[in-house]
Amino acid sequence: MTTLPELLKDRTSLRYIFTGGKGGVGKTVSAAGLAYHYAEDGETVLLASLNPVHSLSSLFGQDLSGGKVRAVQGTKGVHAVEVETTEVVAKYRESIKGRVKEFLKWADIPLDARPFIEIATTNPAFEESAMFDRMVDYILTEGESYDRVIFDTAAVANAVRLIGLSKIYGLWLNRMIDSRKEALSLRVQLSFRKEKMIEEVKKDPLMADLISMNERFEKAKTVLVDPERTAFFFVTLPLGLPIAVVRRFIGMVRKFNIPVGGVIVNEILRPEVAQMAGAGDYLVNKYQEQLGYMRTLYRDLGPLVVSYIPLYPSEVTGTDAVARVSSDMMNYTPAFVPELASTA
């Protein structure tokens, strides 16, 4: 089995890292721990929260809100941004509005554009589309200023739709480009002044826009499916439901050819704590329960488990706490692991 330090050492060109999992399992804590690790090695890291309910400000105990990249005080090179969903969606809506109007204008369709814009901007995946577009910005442009870019994604359903859009967008754009080519071809064939029409078609702004979008998403897709540059880490608690979610989540992500980095288990109840004198029945029972769930995890996903974060006496807040998480992610191995790993 590969540990997280071994994995990071082997994949030095790993540049785009995602953390995901069920809500409340520690996705933000894990993303921050990874960012802190790289920064301690002298690298500059961008930590971007794509979660509509951000936690970075609370985690680091400083204001990182507002959609602007800010240096995280108390770290050597971590920069963070809580991507503002409302702002991103508003900009994306204006962009879509312009494209719909341009389409109707060039198609000589004398219709009110507002119903079409309403349909295009109120579909269930519109917010994910907007956030995906913003994520592509970080991958292709803004992220170039950093050695690593780490994305803290939303809960499973949102994250799957977010990363899955790389494939869906490609299919949609190719279909749109083919349709536009067909429409323009018919326009030339039906024209009495074909030479003039051919010249106009060459300047077709909608086709140019579609091709530009397609090139942009093809570049992003190339990055997202490259195991040397991209990895998705799944975070879980040693409990039945989060483990079941991760198991399904991994299957979904693999369907989109997104490289799996591994599984991080958060809030491990240390054996020495559960078994110390006076611990009481509650902790003993919780520890036995944890062992049962860990057996399930190793049975189903053993080779993918790469890191553990202990359950701390208090909530993880502030850079000192993040530093401790980062260190534990790289160094802590629960005492029960060798026995369970041998059965995986």
pLDDT of res. 26: 95
pLDDT digits (tens, 9 = 90+) for 30-70: 999 999 999 999 999 999 998 878 899 999 999 999 889 99
pLDDT of res. 195: 65
> What three-state secondary structure class fits 63?
coil
Separation CA 117–CA 339 (nearest Å): 59
pLDDT of res. 135: 86
pLDDT digits (tens, 9 = 90+) for 233-256: 999 999 999 999 999 888 888 887
Flag whether pLDDT at 124 surpasses 60.
no
What pTM was estimated for this model as a whole? 0.83
Structure tokens at 317: 């807040």
pLDDT of res. 236: 97
Q: Going by C-beta distance under 8 Å and a sequence separation of 6 or more, which residues neighbour residue 25?
A: 235, 236, 237, 242, 266
Separation CA 176–CA 148 (nearest Å): 34
Q: How confident is the prediction for the chain on average, in pLDDT?
A: 84
- Please tell me the least confidently modeled range out of 36-45, 153-162, 279-288: 153-162
Determine what percent of the chain is predicted with pLDDT higher than 90. Answer: 46
pLDDT of res. 226: 92
pLDDT of res. 276: 82
Strands 70-71 and 78-82: antiparallel
pLDDT digits (tens, 9 = 90+) for 5-21: 999 999 999 999 999 88
pLDDT bin (cut points 50, 70, 90) of residue 113 is low
Q: What are the respective helix, strand and coil percentages of the chain, to the nearest 5?
A: 60, 15, 30
Burial class (CB in 10 A: 0-12, 13-18, 19+), 287: buried
